[in-house]
Structure 1
Amino acid sequence: MARLFVEQLTVIDSSRLDPVDGLVGESWIVDVEIGGSLDAQGMVFDFGDVKRELKAAIDDTVDHRLLVPEQGTGITHTEDGVAVAFASRRGPIHMSGPAHTVVVVPGARVDAAALERLLQASLLPRLPGNVTDLTVHLRHEAIDGAWYAYSHGLQAHGGACQRIAHGHRSRLIVQRDGEPARDWEQYWARRWRNVYLGTRDHLVTTTERDGVSCYGFRYTSGEGVFTLELPAAACELLETETTVEQIAAHLHGEMKDREPAVRITVRAFEGVGKGALADG
């Protein structure tokens, strides 16, 4: 059997429900190996087709979605979509929205291995008949420094970012007068580890559930009506939409308020290899 490989085929930017950490933003780099017999071109699968078709299939299956474990998650199907109920150590989480924005992952926990199995099982039947084996490997970006993990939703976005609970695992680089500001980087890495960044205008309720103070968010976007309720301690409110440009500006503004006499430069990433810059 011949085999080919493609590294960094795509990046999955999604959020998952975790029994300990609650709502967790993730960015997984996807590597694949494909095995089978050679076709008439002497190929297992043309690289152009891999990069186009397989990437699209992965994105369509899990990217920019809420990934929930089959065990331990309450799922109710409604006329308008799906409602999710989940209990974590941080507190209860409830989400509702169109059905395609939620992916149920077999097992008790959503992790890289569980998602690899789901992708391999769902994607192999879509490949040409000469392809008999597919291996999907998910990995985090190797970050030598500070990083944060956040979930959010962009009501005004015309694409998948409008979904209220998708996320990213992101690098953060801060400079003070041109020199690394490791103290600020570590401060934000701790403060924004597994945080939900919500827009204040989307906050509609503040309630107590199971002894935990919770924020409730709601908005209507092009795909439909979305709601999300989760522990207030796991949230941070911004006065704007939570685009990466606004996130970088928010970080910059908070640090400049505390250190007005210095030049602060922020490189805030949105997942892997992209982001926004705020300086001054």
Structure 2
Amino acid sequence: MNQLFVNNLTVIDFSYLHTERGILGESWIVDIELEGDLDEQGMLFDFGDVKKKIKNIIDHEVDHKFVVPAAHQSISINTQGTLAKVVYNAPSGEQIIHHSPLESLTQIKDVEISKENISAYLCDRILHQLPSNVKGICIQLREEVIKGEFYHYSHGLKKHKGNCQRIAHGHRSTINIYRDGKPAHDLEKQWASIFEDIYIGTESDIAGNPLINGHPHTHFAYSAIQGDFELIIPSRQVYIIKTDSTVEWIATHISEQLKAQYPTSQFRVKAFEGVGKGAIAER
């Protein structure tokens, strides 16, 4: 048997339902290994095909999706045609309700989401689509090593023409803040705390503020190219901004809040959207 590997094949940015922390935005780096026999070209699998075919499958199955542990006893999933509705009843009495086109949802047959069961899910989806000489695949999912502050956030961008329009996808993101040209680690920590496990919602997308079992919730709803999206989540897990929640607007929002708090200082905010990309705003 021969082996082939590709590190840093892609990054999957998605959100999943964590039964304790709520909707959790993640960014996982993907490394893969293939095992099998060499073909007539003396190759196990062409690197160009790995980067195209396998990456496309991974993106289709998990990237920019809402991933749910479908075997959890407190989660119900109902599908009707091309639509899916997920309801999670938390022990506290709070609820998470996600209603969207079916293509924006991935179901994992387990009681919790982990790197291991998503890796197994992807291996199962990928292997049967590869040439017969490829006998095995191993996918390793890992987080970016971040030395400073970071946060998990989820959002949806109704105006986006691609998969970012899905109402619950997210990222694990670094934040760098400079005050008067110097790193401001205290402010980075402050904003990482504010955005910890948060859903960043747009004010105009709020459809209501229902009280469920005595707990305040926020109801978001909008129509996008892919269809109609709705999300109801506990209000304590929500941060509202007036604009769309693109990383450009998030960086701008943070810089404007800092400028209002410290009007005599100059700020540079470098907000990441997952791994290795993001936006910079200065005030």
Q: Same fold (TM over 0.5)?
A: yes
Match of 2:219 among 205, 216, 221: 216
Counterparts of 2:90 and 2:122, CA distance in 1: 25
Gaps of 5+ in 2: none
Which residue number in structure 1 is paired with residue 149 of structure 2? Answer: 146
Once the two structures are superposed, residues 138-177 of structure 1 have per-residue CA deviations (whole angstroms, 9 ceiling, x without a partner) of 0000000000110000000000000000000000000111
In the alignment, structure 1 residue 21 sits paired with structure 2 residue 24:
no
Counterparts of 2:33 and 2:13, CA distance in 1: 21
Which residue number in structure 2 is paired with residue 251 of structure 1? Answer: 254
Measure how far apart 1:92 and its partner are. Answer: 1.2
Amino acid in the other structure paired with 1:57: I
Which residue number in structure 2 is paired with residue 76 of structure 1? Answer: 78
Once the two structures are superposed, residues 185-225 of structure 1 have per-residue CA deviations (whole angstroms, 9 ceiling, x without a partner) of 00111111110000000001101112210000000000000
Counterparts of 2:260 and 2:95, CA distance in 1: 34
In the alignment, structure 1 residue 228 sits paired with structure 2 residue 222:
no
Which shifted more, 28-37 or 68-77?
68-77
| SS of structure 2 residue aligned to 1:83 | strand
In the alignment, structure 1 residue 3 sits paired with structure 2 residue 24:
no
Amino acid in the other structure paired with 1:82: A
Once the two structures are superposed, residues 44-103 of structure 1 have per-residue CA deviations (whole angstroms, 9 ceiling, x without a partner) of 001111011110110011110000001222001124500000134673100101001110
Asked if 2 retains the 8 angstrom alpha-carbon contact of 1:22 and 1:88, the reply is no
* Structure-2 change in CA distance of 1:60 and 1:205 (3 Å): same
In the alignment, structure 1 residue 12 sits paired with structure 2 residue 12:
yes
Asked if 2 retains the 8 angstrom alpha-carbon contact of 1:69 and 1:104, the reply is yes
Measure how far apart 1:237 and its partner are. Answer: 0.6
Q: Figure out how many residues of one structure are paired with residues of the other and give that number.
A: 280
Match of 2:88 among 71, 83, 86: 86
Match of 1:157 among 134, 155, 160: 160
Measure how far apart 1:106 and its partner are. Answer: 1.5
Asked if 2 retains the 8 angstrom alpha-carbon contact of 1:9 and 1:32, the reply is yes
Which residue number in structure 1 is paired with residue 109 of structure 2? Answer: 106
In the alignment, structure 1 residue 169 sits paired with structure 2 residue 172:
yes
Counterparts of 2:90 and 2:131, CA distance in 1: 41
| SS of structure 1 residue aligned to 2:146 | coil
Asked if 2 retains the 8 angstrom alpha-carbon contact of 1:21 and 1:89, the reply is no
Counterparts of 2:165 and 2:251, CA distance in 1: 19
Amino acid in the other structure paired with 1:262: S
Counterparts of 1:244 and 1:102, CA distance in 2: 23
Counterparts of 1:64 and 1:79, CA distance in 2: 21
Which shifted more, 68-77 or 262-271?
68-77
Question: Structure 2 length normalisation: TM-score?
Answer: 0.97
* Structure-2 change in CA distance of 1:146 and 1:89 (3 Å): farther
* Structure-2 change in CA distance of 1:211 and 1:25 (3 Å): same
| SS of structure 1 residue aligned to 2:210 | strand
Runs of 4+ in 1 over 2 A off after TM superposition: 87-91
Counterparts of 2:25 and 2:89, CA distance in 1: 17
Once the two structures are superposed, residues 30-51 of structure 1 have per-residue CA deviations (whole angstroms, 9 ceiling, x without a partner) of 0000010000111100111101
Amino acid in the other structure paired with 1:102: L
In the alignment, structure 1 residue 193 sits paired with structure 2 residue 196:
yes
Identity %: 40
Match of 1:279 among 274, 279, 282: 282
Gaps of 5+ in 1: none
* Structure-2 change in CA distance of 1:110 and 1:182 (3 Å): same
Q: What is the root-mean-square deviation in Å for CA atoms of aligned residues?
A: 1.0
| SS of structure 2 residue aligned to 1:261 | coil
Counterparts of 2:39 and 2:155, CA distance in 1: 44
Once the two structures are superposed, residues 199-257 of structure 1 have per-residue CA deviations (whole angstroms, 9 ceiling, x without a partner) of 00000110111221000000000000000000001001110110010000001011111
Question: Structure 1 length normalisation: TM-score?
Answer: 0.98
